[in-house]
Amino acid sequence: MGRIESRIGVGMIGLGTVGGGVEKWFQQGGGETQGLELRRIAVANPDKPRDTQVPLTSDIKDVIKDPSIQIVIEVMGGIDPASGYITDALNEGKSVITANKAAIATNMPHLFEAARTRNADLAFEASVGGGIRIIHVINSFQAERIEAIKAILNGTSNYILTQMEKGLTFDEALIQAQEKGFAESNHLSDTGGYDTRYKLTILASLGFNTWFDPEAISRRGMADISPIDLDFAAKYGVEEGESGYSVKLLAIAKRREDNSVELRVTPALISKDHPLSSVRDEYNAVYLEGSNAGPQMLTGKGAGREATTS
C-alpha cells in the first residue's frame, strides 16, 4: 500500500526577504502545527549556499506540476513572470498564497477567473497592510456599503516621515529605515507612492466591487517633502486653537454622489485630532467609512519580514 499523506504539501516560488521569513516559519515548526509540509522551493540559482533543508529547483514546473504539492506560495514579487506562475498554479487546481500586490492589482480579473474556473483558492491577505488582515474585513462588508477608504499603506514611507518629524533629513531617515530592514536599496516604489497605489487598487476594487486599473490612479510621492514642511504642518492653525497637522502619504478612495469613485495617492495634511495622525513609524492603518456603522480604523505593522509573513 502507498504512503498515506497526513500533511498538505506546500511549494514555494522565491526565497528572498519574504520567502526567507516563510521558510524560517516552516523551519521552526510552524507548518507542523497547521498540518503543512514545505516540499520544494523554486529559485533562480539553486546552487547558491542557503540555510535550508528543503529541496531547491530552478524549474518552476517542479513546483507547479508536482502532484504532492497542493498549495503554492508565490513570493518572488513583480508583475511578470509572477502573474503567469500564479495563473499556471491555479489552472493546475492548486491553491495559491501570495503577498504580490503588483500582480494581484494589475491582473485581478484574470486571476480571480482562473481561481473560480478551477475552484481553487487565491489568498492575498498579506499583499496589503502587513498583519492588519484588512482584506478579510473589507470582504465582510456585505450588508453595508463602503463610502470611503483613507489609508496609510506603506510602512517605509510612514517610518521616514515619522523620523523627519523629529528633524532628520529624508536621506538620514531613509538610511535608518534601510538599516532596520524597512526599506530596499531602491526605495522609489515605497517613497514614490507606487507600492501604495497597488495596495489602494486592491482595497478599492474589493470595497467598491469593481476593478480599477492601477495605472489610471493619480499618484504623487513624497520626494518634495522636507523637515521644514513637517514643522510648518505641526504648527499650522495652533495659534487659532487648532491642534496642528501631520503629513502622511495617503491612499484615498471616495464614493462620489454619482456613484463613481475618486482614487488618488498623495501626501496629505491630517489634523492631529484625526486618528490617522497618530499612526507612526512602520505602522499601517486603514480608516473605513461605512454607510451605516460609521468610521472604523485598523492598524498594524506594515513593513519588515515579520509583518508580511505573519
Write out the catalytic residue numbers: 199
Q: At what angle do helices 155-165 and 227-235 cross, to 10 degrees?
A: 70
Looking at 103-237, which runs of residues are DSSP E strands?
A: 122-123, 146-152, 218-219
The Cα–Cα gap between 196 and 237 comes to 29
Beta bridge partners of 297: 287
| Residue 188 Cα distances to 183, 241, 272, angstroms | 10, 37, 27
Phi then psi dihedrals of residue 271, to 5 deg = -60, 140
CA angle 110, 215, 188 (to 5 degrees): 115
Interacting residues of 71 by C-beta distance below 8 A, sequence separation 6+: 8, 9, 10, 11, 36, 94, 95, 96, 97
Q: Which of 172, 149, 115 is nearest to 284 (CA)?
A: 149
Q: At what angle do helices 101-117 and 194-207 cross, to 10 degrees?
A: 30
Helix/strand/coil (H/E/C) assignment for every residue in 53-72: CCCEECCCHHHHCCCCCCEE
The Cα–Cα gap between 53 and 41 comes to 10
